[in-house]
Structure 1
């Protein structure tokens, strides 16, 4: 009887251990995630097993972790920015043992209204006439109700109109009327479109316009005589002026058309030029030649220039 009792004790004790295995098994973390709306994720912790007394859930985006003890309650978190994140659940049991599980979260940017603005041309000398091209695509389910274009971003729209469209890819204004930038400088034009959301949302696009000083102007260019005999002196004369008061002339060049070239860098920049240059001995051969005069101003990094040509017919002596 004593032997049988010992065996029975072992069997009963063994069955007791098997039935209470959950008291000694380490916890097991299980984490799943589902997107319930754009950028908002619901985390399910309930698949975790063991005698769990606490959990910590980090979201991978630098925000504060969620902590608690009831794994049956889902945790909801909103990701503010698109990107790839790793959320990690760590559970702990009463004996201090832990287990972790992670899940990857990819948050895509929600569809939104897109706007772009182009300037044609985007740069040039003053006065510069610029036309604007707009490409607009409303977010799914939305329509654009108002557009406003501020040519110099001074806070006051120069053109605005109530509209009703989902997409637009055309000149704005739609008659392609240009805006004239009269003074040198860098300008920013801003297009603002308003959709039909409640409340309405504004979306903007900008274009940069660079207006340089107007180029210099050669106001006169002559050759005396303009029909010289071969071997005779020819006197070239020209007058030029800078494009505006902010610029100076710094260089000029004369080409006779037969290889004679004179290039002069002015020791003192000037607002105007009145130059006479004698081509001593003139053209050696009869024929028709194209003489050219060119002037440069002091605009940097690329100077403005002007160039004028003159036909010279050389005859036999």
Structure 2
């Protein structure tokens, strides 16, 4: 089996959890090879972390274009590396930016593209991706039939499991295309840190909906999330009402999440919302309406007032931590 290229997500000099998950999946398909772009002085530490999770080779490229321009420099680098090593597959985190990079790469390699995979395996014909489709109502398997498979994988698709490998660093000098500098980043406004996990990467998510009654109602949602170390999400109804930031909206027109545990508080469970969280491993619903559609989906359901249920749950979690 050949190399499986994994584009490494990193932030503030550290490798991000979805990248470790991709390296774990890559071991099913072949020999993992990490691609670290624009990490600067942090590249050796990121390469070491990738090596601890199975990367036999770490391709490292650094240039101002990675920080100052959008998407195309990464596509240029991956294209150059893929053409040089002819990998078995290329794996990328299924984020907005990741999917755009993947699409550009597949086009340049004249290859097929699979997005939003939730699992990967291999048979005698090559890599096979598992996807949840039609708002996660069906599970399908897909394969690329032309070129190098380019696959984006949702965060939390698999637990990251260390498996130390060589982690040999190979420095790559990228020849950027004219389009690489076509769109430049001229300013950045850092988002205020909440201290909570990134929503799309979180293993635990607590969400509030119309049932919280207003902006102040999210306090009990946040308190439970903080007790669990979870991210906070919101339904479209809550976001449209101005109760919570749009960046935290989960659903067909918001973000898609796939955590180990999803707790929906005061959310009816309309199809628009279900499309964003239905692939969660364990789903818990809290709602006063016993006929709410969310109860058709949950693993565990509580018919009750979220303002009674959530504080009680938070208190119990805090006590068990002592």
The structure number with the bigger radius of gyration is 1
With the length of structure 2 as denominator, give the TM-score of the two structures. Answer: 0.19
**Higher relative contact order, structure no. (Cα contacts within 8 Å, ≥ 6 residues apart):** 2
More helix by share: 2
With the length of structure 1 as denominator, give the TM-score of the two structures. Answer: 0.19
More strand by share: 1
